[in-house]
């Protein structure tokens, strides 16, 4: 073997030895030469005294399926403000959400037709009065002549009849004038009670028609929540039944009472209108959005105390106690029911969990 070949072999042996040394070092760092625990259940179980921690058993029981129906707060008393006559609207002095007092002027109608009618009625009354005065004078003159036997009974009866007719015409004209004058009050629409303007249906310049609303006025007292509830659930309600109502704008949940259940079913949504009388609530206003909460059905649920649940990042876990040992177990929860919470996976009925896990540390 030449000197060059011998040198190359020695170099190859050195490289191979270096590679083997690196492989052995990596295996050692990975613990390949250290005995390991066989895989299986997590070795986090610890011995504890069962008297040193508070525990609770996983129970199964029937719970209510609470659902919520959206609704709107409305006033029990709503008045539509409408004219009694046909006239153009000159001015509307309020807008939606404005507060008004009883007797406040809300709408002004055009009075020009009323003024013209009043002038015509006054003229008719004046003419009738003049005719009546003349008929009265004629009757009195004939009565004098009749007393002196200078006029016949027929003449007297004629003058008396003319006088009565003239008086009747005066009465009729006077009634017509009073009727026209009363329309002056109808040309001004006033608030019938203290309240808040709910809606404005017309604008100045529009024609006001008898019975056609210009404004809607609602009383601030006697507010109700009105919600459309599916017929299957609406059938569970009864008049005066207590229910739970949540008003998000006020951040309040209150007990209210069913006031009215509409017998009509909406053919498209298959719902019925439920009206709930609300208690007095500060700052509550008509138009607010609310929720009607209802237990529409029931189901069986596994329940544990909420205090037993630990939150580890996005995960939920409990400490399960068995044979004097406890271990950490991941679970999934659902709705809460008071101080209890429903477990949908990770536990079975009868298991025991630590209700205050920090005591078992």
pLDDT digits (tens, 9 = 90+) for 127-145: 888 888 888 887 888 778 7
**Pairing between β-strand 87-92 and β-strand 340-345 as defined by DSSP bridges:** unpaired
Check if the beta carbon of residue 99 is closer than 8 Å to that of residue 195.
yes
At residue 35, the pLDDT reads 38
Instruction: Look at the alpha carbons of 282, 285, 290, 296 in this order and tell me if their dihedral is positive or negative.
Output: positive
Angle of the 112-147 helix axis to the 153-186 helix axis, nearest 10:
160
pLDDT bracket for residue 113 (50, 70, 90): confident
Strand ranges (DSSP E) for 154-236? Answer: 188-190, 195-200, 207-208, 215-218, 223-230
pTM beyond 0.85: no
Q: Is the pLDDT of residue 11 over 80?
A: no
At residue 127, the pLDDT reads 84
- Domain 79-103+190-217 carries which CATH code? 2.40.50.100
Q: Which two tokens stand for residue 121?
A: 């009625």
Domain topology for 68-77+218-298? Elongation Factor Tu (Ef-tu); domain 3 (2.40.30)
How far is residue 61 from each of residues 100, 103, 242, 295, 343, measured CA to CA in Å?
Answer: 54, 60, 24, 15, 12
Domain topology for 46-64+300-360? 2.40.420
At residue 215, the pLDDT reads 94
How far is residue 5 from each of residues 1, 13, 14, 238, 340, measured CA to CA in Å?
Answer: 6, 13, 14, 106, 83
Q: Which H or E run contains 79?
A: strand 78-81
Instruction: Identify the CA nearest to 155 among candidates 146, 144, 167.
Output: 146
Q: Is the pLDDT of residue 104 over 90?
A: yes
Spelled out in words, what is the top-level CATH class assigned to the domain 111-186? mainly alpha
Distance CA 119, CA 130 (A): 17
How far is residue 306 from each of residues 313, 321, 325, 353, measured CA to CA in Å?
Answer: 17, 17, 21, 11
Strand ranges (DSSP E) for 231-359? Answer: 242-247, 252-261, 271-277, 289-305, 310-312, 315-322, 325-337, 340-345, 352-354
Question: What is the pLDDT averaged over residues 325-346?
Answer: 88
Distance CA 70, CA 335 (A): 20
**DSSP character string of 121-177:** HHHHHHHHHHHHHHHHHHHHHHHHHHHTT-S-HHHHHHHHHHHHHHHHHHHHHHHHH
Instruction: Identify the CA nearest to 78 among candidates 202, 161, 175, 191.
Output: 191
- For residue 314, the SS3 value is coil
């Amino acid at each position: 073997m030449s000197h060059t070949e011998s040198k190359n072999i020695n170099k190859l042996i050195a490289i191979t030895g270096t590679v083997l040394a690196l492989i052995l070092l990596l295996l050692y760092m990975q613990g390949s030469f250290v005995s390991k625990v066989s895989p299986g259940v997590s070795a986090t179980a610890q011995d504890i005294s069962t008297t040193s921690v508070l525990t609770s058993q996983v129970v199964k029981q029937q719970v209510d399926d609470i659902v919520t129906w959206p609704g709107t707060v409305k006033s029990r008393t709503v008045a539509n403000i409408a004219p009694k006559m046909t006239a153009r609207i000159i001015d509307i002095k309020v807008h939606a959400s404005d507060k008004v007092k009883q007797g406040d002027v809300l709408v002004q109608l055009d009075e020009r037709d009323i003024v013209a009618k009043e002038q015509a009625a006054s003229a008719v009354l004046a003419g009738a009065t003049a005719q009546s005065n003349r008929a009265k004078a004629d009757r009195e003159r004939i009565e004098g002549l009749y007393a002196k036997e200078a006029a016949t009974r027929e003449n007297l009866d004629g003058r008396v009849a003319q006088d009565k007719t003239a008086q009747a015409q005066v009465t009729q004209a006077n009634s017509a004038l009073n009727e026209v004058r009363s329309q002056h009050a109808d040309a001004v629409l006033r608030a019938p009670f203290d309240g808040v303007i709910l809606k404005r249906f017309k604008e100045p310049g529009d024609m006001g028609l008898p019975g056609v609303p210009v404004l809607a006025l609602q009383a601030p007292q006697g507010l109700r929540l009105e919600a459309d509830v599916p017929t299957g659930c609406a059938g569970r309600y009864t008049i005066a039944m207590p229910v739970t109502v949540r008003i998000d704008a006020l951040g309040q949940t209150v007990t209210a009472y069913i006031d009215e259940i509409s017998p009509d079913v909406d053919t498209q949504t298959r719902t019925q209108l439920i009206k709930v009388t609300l208690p007095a609530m500060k700052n509550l206003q008509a138009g607010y959005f609310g929720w009607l909460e209802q237990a529409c059905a029931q189901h069986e649920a596994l329940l544990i105390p909420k205090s037993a649940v630990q939150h580890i990042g996005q995960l939920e876990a409990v400490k399960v106690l068995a044979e004097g040992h406890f271990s950490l177990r991941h679970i999934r929860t659902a709705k809460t029911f008071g101080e209890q919470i429903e477990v949908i996976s990770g536990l079975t009925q009868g298991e025991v969990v630590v209700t205050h896990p920090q005591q078992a540390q």
